[in-house]
Structure formats: C-alpha cells, structure tokens
C-alpha cells in the first residue's frame, strides 16, 4: 500500500471578502420553505481565483433571490424573461464571501456578486502599488 499523500497547497476555504470567480456548475438543489411558499433551489458552484470551490444554494422563486437575479444580469445581461441557468456555466464575475458558523462548523457563503469590471475598479483603488526589492541595501527605512 502506497502511503504517499499529495497535499492540496491552495487554501481549503475561500477567505472572506471579494474574489474573481468563474461559475463552474449549476444543478437543482433541495426545495426550501420561504414566506412565499416552497421554492426550488439552484446549487451554484464558483471557482474563485486561487481558492477552492464555493457552492451557494440560491432560491428560485420569483422575487425572493436578489443575488441570483443580479448574477444573471451581470453575466448574461438584463431583459430576458426566462433564462436557462446552465448558460451561466463558464461566466466570470466577482463574488463576496462571508463565513458563517453553524453547528460548530464554518461555511463559506456567497452573499453578493458584481461584474468583473466593477471588481477590477475596486481593486485598482484599494490595492496599493508594490514593487520587488532585490537588494535590501537599496531599501530606505525612516
């Protein structure tokens, strides 16, 4: 028996905050109770850049899931009365991940989405420019 184990060196859970991501799978989930009655759900899996998989269950009843509506608008455009959710697979977007604690476990949840352009604009403002220091003698410390 070979006891060598190949480790996954990427983070096992997406960190909280905004990430660039690709929709990699959508399938039907378990029906869920809402105030508007029973709703089908769409299990949507995202592959964030530099992280492992994040799957979110979105309610599909009309008017109860703003995030799913927003995802459709930013990736497929507005105006369609009905869309095939499978067409979201392969689309890029920004996702906001928050961690939720439940029954002693931590879950990564997609709580918001945005267009890739929106996320790029936000990153340009909030990420300071960096440069590589190759010689510590050139580093000026005040």
**129-138: pLDDT as tens digits:** 444 445 555 5
Strands 17-28 and 32-34: unpaired
Establish if 89 belongs to a structural domain.
Answer: yes
Establish if 137 belongs to a structural domain.
Answer: no
Establish if 111 belongs to a structural domain.
Answer: yes
CB-based contact 88:70 (threshold 8 Å) = no
- The parent domain of residue 27 ranges over 17-126
Establish if 86 belongs to a structural domain.
Answer: yes
Question: Tens of pLDDT along 26-77?
Answer: 999 999 988 878 889 999 999 998 777 899 999 988 776 788 989 999 999 8
Q: CA-to-CA distance for 17 and 13, rounded, in angstroms?
A: 12
Residue in 69, 120, 60, 73 with CA at minimum distance from that of residue 94: 120
Q: CA-to-CA distance for 32 and 39, rounded, in angstroms?
A: 5
Establish if 138 belongs to a structural domain.
Answer: no
Assign residue 104 the CATH number of its domain: 2.40.50
Q: What is the reported pTM?
A: 0.75
Q: State how many domains the chain has.
A: 1
CB-based contact 111:98 (threshold 8 Å) = yes
């Amino acid at each position: 028996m070979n006891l060598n184990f190949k480790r996954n060196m990427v983070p096992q859970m997406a960190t909280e905050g905004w990430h660039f991501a690709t929709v990699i799978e959508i399938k039907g989930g378990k029906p869920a109770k809402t105030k508007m009655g029973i709703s089908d759900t769409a299990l949507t899996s995202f592959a964030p850049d530099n992280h492992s998989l994040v799957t979110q269950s979105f309610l599909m009843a009309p008017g109860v899931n703003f995030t799913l509506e927003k995802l459709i608008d930013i990736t497929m455009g507005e105006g369609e009365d009905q869309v095939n959710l499978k067409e979201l697979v392969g689309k890029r977007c920004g996702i906001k991940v928050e961690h939720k604690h439940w029954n002693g476990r931590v879950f990564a949840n997609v709580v918001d989405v945005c267009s890739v352009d929106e996320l790029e604009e936000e990153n340009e403002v909030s990420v300071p420019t960096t440069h590589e220091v190759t010689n510590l003698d050139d580093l000026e410390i005040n």
